């Protein structure tokens, strides 16, 4: 119930393409869904987040799509660039402290 399942484990996308990473959850009490980006040697950094009262949130080239009925949310990176190469983590939380993390997706953008 507390798990967040993330896929794929790794992803290779050509420069300029669309990168899509998916996450699924079971706990309907989750009300906060962030995506974090982690570069080698650094801690994860918040990229974009959504709450379940909206179906989509866009910030620049990054978009979260949220499907409440399917209990799924995804990160779309438009016009993917080599600088987007990183590991991406989805997470979910109720209104308490604990973020439940996905296993991560290693994204490689090929020039």
Partner 1 sequence: GAGVSQSPSNKVTEKGKDVELRCDPISGHTALYWYRQRLGQGLEFLIYFQGNSAPDKSGLPSDRFSAERTGESVSTLTIQRTQQEDSAVYLCASSPQGQAYGYTFGSGTRLTVV
Q: Which of 33, 39, 35 is nearest to 53 (CA)?
A: 33
The one-character DSSP state at 99 is P
CB 56 within 8 A of CB 48: no
Q: Which of 53, 55, 105 is nearest to 77 (CA)?
A: 105
Contacts with partner 1, 13-42, as mask; x by CB under 8 A: -------------------x-x------xx
Q: What CA–CA distance (Å, rounded) separates 22 from 42?
A: 23
Residues in 84-103 that interact with partner 1 by CB under 8 A: 89, 91, 93, 95-99, 101-103
Cβ proximity to partner 1: between 32 and 76 the closer is 32
Cβ proximity to partner 1: between 16 and 39 the closer is 39
Of the residues 24, 44, 63, 84, which one makes contact with partner 1 according to CB under 8 A: 44
Instruction: For residue 49, state whether it binds partner 1 (rule: CB under 8 A).
Output: yes
Q: What are phi and psi of 106, to 5 degrees?
A: -90, 115
Binding-site ranges for partner 1 (CB under 8 A)? 32, 34, 41-46, 49, 89, 91, 93, 95-99, 101-104, 106
């Amino acid at each position: 119930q507390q798990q967040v399942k993330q896929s794929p484990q790794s992803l290779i996308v050509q420069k300029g393409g669309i990168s899509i990473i998916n996450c699924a959850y079971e706990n309907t009490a989750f009300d906060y869904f962030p995506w974090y980006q982690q570069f080698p040697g650094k801690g994860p950094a918040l990229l974009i987040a959504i709450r379940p009262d909206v179906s989509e949130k866009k910030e620049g080239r990054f978009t979260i799509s949220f499907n409440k009925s399917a209990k799924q949310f995804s990160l779309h990176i438009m016009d993917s660039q080599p600088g987007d190469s990183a590991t991406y983590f989805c997470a979910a939380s109720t209104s308490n402290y604990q973020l439940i993390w996905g296993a991560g997706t290693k994204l490689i953008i090929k020039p």
